[in-house]
Structure 1
Amino acid sequence: MKQAIQQSGSQRWVLSKGRVPLSERQVAGYSVHSGFAEASILHAFSNCRPAFPDNLPRIYVSERLVRINGLYRHGFMLAPLIVENTLNALNGDLNSPFIQQH
């Protein structure tokens, strides 16, 4: 079973594919850092998908930041195209349907 740790500020989530008991997610957290041994789950969410309504990825470009979002489950197939478009954006070419300036 594939699992990943996601962090936003002081909050951390264990993400996994499929139906996984929360206790297994706590074990996965503990394997990353022993501080998770005393952690408690405050909220549990389901059906949260990292995609936009049109299912197209986005590359957000600002002065000092590039954000790539919305790859959902096909990120590995889209990666070459997204990298090419990101490099083009960094070189000043913003002519891509995936690129949005902020």
Structure 2
Amino acid sequence: MALGIIATIEAQADQVEFVGQTLQEVVPPSRRDDGCEHYTLTRDRENERVFVMVEQWRDRAALEAHLATEHYRQMAATLENRIAQMSVREYDILT
């Protein structure tokens, strides 16, 4: 069964542009990852500090492989002290 991910990332007030740029840079290589069916970065219209990553993976193994890639690990390390909070929710894709 396909796996959906919604990751909500809130940038620190003085890091909004840096966080946005860093998140944008991880999109193209992530879309090329084996098992990636959908990978989109959005920004909240009411709060510019909040970014939402909407992802769909073929299965858990594809997601785990993505989390182990250099581009993902580099992005996570770069943002470590630049975000105020982050939440990640997983969903079963039904249709």
* More helix as a share of residues: 2
* More strand as a share of residues: 2
| TM-score, structure 1 normalization | 0.27
RCO (CA 8 Å, sep 6+): is it higher in 1 or 2? 2
| TM-score, structure 2 normalization | 0.28
